[in-house]
Amino acid sequence: HAQRLTGLGTTIFAEMSALAARTGSVNLGQGFPDTDGPDSLLEDAIAAIRAGANQYAPGRGVPTLRQAIVDHQKRFYGLEYDPDTEVLVTTGATEAIAAALLAYVEPGDEVIALEPYYDSYAAGIAMAGGHRVPVTLRAPDYRLDLDELRAAVTPRTKVLLINSPHNPTGSVLTDPELRGIAGLAIEHDLVVITDEVYEHLIYDELQHHPLASYDGMADRTVSISSAGKTFSVTGWKIGWITGSPSVVTAVNTAKQFLTFTSGAPFQPAVANALALGNEYFDALRADLQARRDLLCDGLESLGFEVHRPQGTYFVTTDVRPLGYTDGIDFCRMLPDRAGVVAIPHQVFYDNTESGRPLVRWAFCKQPHILQEALTRLTQL
Ligand code: PMP
Ligand code: GLN
């Protein structure tokens, strides 16, 4: 295979979900909900199939979905976009990330990513021929050190790839951190790809601030989100970007030759879901916050050092208080010993030392499943 695939291996999520199936483990590894999104959403997709929405959708997305994305950005963040020129529907956020990197990264360019990073970032950067430059978010609260970010910028830096709420740490970038990122991007004329797929999964009354809302960022920001997270339909693979007309045109130039268009019958259904009342979004948060606390309290009482997340549906623990030193060893042992699967942080780092004792657990599961996992973990 080509050099650009070297080191990409098999994604940890496929590996760990296969391990969970093989060992009959409770799967708190790969992040996907074990219940589906709202009934109205599911019914709308079925109705769209019956009504004949089964051929290629328009390349940029069906007009109702593009309008709904615009309305959503206005309603939650006061941001204004033109549905014809400033929105692009993608095949999940994963395609959006890959297409954005292909659109902006020249071979040899440097892309700064917050480490630990979601695994498709490393692959996307590599496939675009770029070099990854990590800036590490450190336990226990995983704040961004703006001086470290500044120090990582070189004349070869082209793109900052950020993610908030952040997978796997669950940290949410603060207003000063976002201002710092924006300032640096403007000073060095960088494009910022901002992965905001967990925008609605944010707890304790915290607010999500889109990077695109900061002064001077509109023309250099690729904002990414996904229906998979907000509506618990990860298998639908409907994501989107918003950005200036030139940003959207650039990303679409890549997207049109990756997939051409994205899941036609799902698009009108997601359009309706984006217009659901605030009670949907509030209930999603409240529900996941309760699950977060159930799992975090349980892991704490089992002796783990728990880094309770501000957002996402993942919690990170340090396994050293239980006598383990290495998260990979811990996660390999876990299915046989306790019948539970989790994800070692190390796979999300270049500086693997920083992630060595850390393990990620997904809490987007029904409470009785989380309880079952906790009961099994008492066997450790
Ligand atoms: N970005 C992050 C941070 C994620 O956690 C995920 C979901 N695993 C994605 C992107 C991919 O989203 P999608 O399933 O819509 O492709
Ligand atoms: N985003 C999910 C996670 O981080 C799963 C993504 C995947 O399986 N590629 O666990």
Q: Can you tell me the distance from the alpha carbon of 223 to that of 321, in angstroms, rounded to the nearest whole number? A: 39
221 shares its domain with 370: no
Q: For ligand 2, what atom is nearest to the CA of residue 118?
A: 4
Task: Report the run of H or E that residue 180 belongs to, with start and end.
Answer: helix 175-187
114 shares its domain with 103: yes
Beta bridge partners, 239, equal 90, 226
pLDDT digits (tens, 9 = 90+) for 263-281: 999 999 999 999 999 999 9
Residues in the chain, total: 380
Q: Which of 233, 249, 274 is the last residue of a domain?
A: 274
Average pLDDT in the chain: 97
Structure-model confidence comparison of residues 147 and 3, the more confident one: 147
Contact between 171 and 139 under an 8 Å Cβ cutoff? The reply is no
SS3 78: coil
Model confidence at 9: pLDDT above 90: no
The DSSP code sequence of 100-130 is HHHHHPPTT-EEEEEES--HHHHHHHHHTT-
Q: Can you tell me the distance from the alpha carbon of 308 to that of 141, in angstroms, rounded to the nearest whole number? A: 9
33 shares its domain with 59: no
Residues 312-343 as b/e (b if ≥16 CB within 10 A, e otherwise) read bbbbbbbbbeeebebbbebbeebbeebbbbbb
47 shares its domain with 195: yes
From the list 194, 18, 119, the residue with the least C-alpha distance to 346 is 119
pLDDT digits (tens, 9 = 90+) for 302-330: 999 999 999 999 999 999 999 999 999 99
SS3 76: helix
Model confidence at 94: pLDDT above 90: yes
Tell how far CA 172 is from the center of its chain. Answer: 12
From the list 172, 218, 220, 152, the residue with the least C-alpha distance to 192 is 220
94 CA distance to ligand 1 centroid (A)?
A: 6
229 shares its domain with 351: no
Contact between 184 and 48 under an 8 Å Cβ cutoff? The reply is no
334 shares its domain with 191: no
pLDDT at 128: 97
pLDDT at 125: 97
359's tokens: 């393990």
327 shares its domain with 237: no
Please report, rounded to a whole number, the percentage of residues in the chain having pLDDT higher than 90.
Answer: 97
pLDDT at 205: 94
Give the pLDDT mean for 82-111.
Answer: 98
Q: Can you tell me the distance from the alpha carbon of 277 to that of 280, in angstroms, rounded to the nearest whole number? A: 6
CA angle, residues 182, 221, 259, in degrees to nearest 5: 155
Residue type, 41: L
Q: Which of 246, 274, 302 is the last residue of a domain?
A: 274
- How many distinct structural domains can be found in the chain? 2
- Ligand 2 binding site (Cβ under 6 Å of any ligand atom): 11, 13, 30-31, 167
Q: Can you tell me the distance from the alpha carbon of 69 to that of 61, in angstroms, rounded to the nearest whole number? A: 11
248's tokens: 């959207």
pLDDT at 36: 94
pLDDT interval class at 362 (50, 70, 90): very high
Instruction: Give pTM, 2 decimals.
Output: 0.97
Closest ligand by atom to 228 CA? 1
Model confidence at 10: pLDDT above 90: no
Give the pLDDT mean for 237-258.
Answer: 98
222 CA distance to ligand 2 centroid (A)?
A: 21
**Which ipTM did the prediction report?**
0.97
Model confidence at 349: pLDDT above 90: yes
324's tokens: 């383990």
367 CA distance to ligand 2 centroid (A)?
A: 20
48 shares its domain with 130: yes
Model confidence at 335: pLDDT above 90: yes
Q: Can you tell me the distance from the alpha carbon of 324 to that of 338, in angstroms, rounded to the nearest whole number? A: 15
Give the pLDDT mean for 326-347.
Answer: 96
- DSSP code at position 213: G
316 shares its domain with 328: yes
Q: What is the CATH number of the domain that holds 134?
A: 3.40.640.10
Q: Give the structural domain span for 20.
A: 3-37+279-377
Q: For ligand 2, what atom is nearest to the CA of residue 31?
A: 10
211 shares its domain with 250: yes
Residues 152-179 as b/e (b if ≥16 CB within 10 A, e otherwise) read bbeeebbbbbbbbbbbbbbbbbeeebbb
141 shares its domain with 75: yes
Task: Report the run of H or E that residue 40 belongs to, with start and end.
Answer: helix 39-50
pLDDT digits (tens, 9 = 90+) for 203-219: 999 999 999 999 999 99
SS3 132: strand
185 shares its domain with 331: no
Q: Which of 220, 247, 274 is the last residue of a domain?
A: 274
pLDDT at 44: 98
pLDDT at 196: 98
Residue nearest to ligand 2 atom 7, measured at CA: 13
pLDDT digits (tens, 9 = 90+) for 141-198: 999 999 999 999 999 999 999 999 999 999 999 999 999 999 999 999 999 999 999 9
Q: For ligand 1, what atom is nearest to the CA of residue 163?
A: 3
E strands in the chain: 26-27, 87-91, 110-115, 131-136, 157-163, 191-195, 221-226, 238-242, 305-307, 314-318, 340-341, 343-344, 358-362
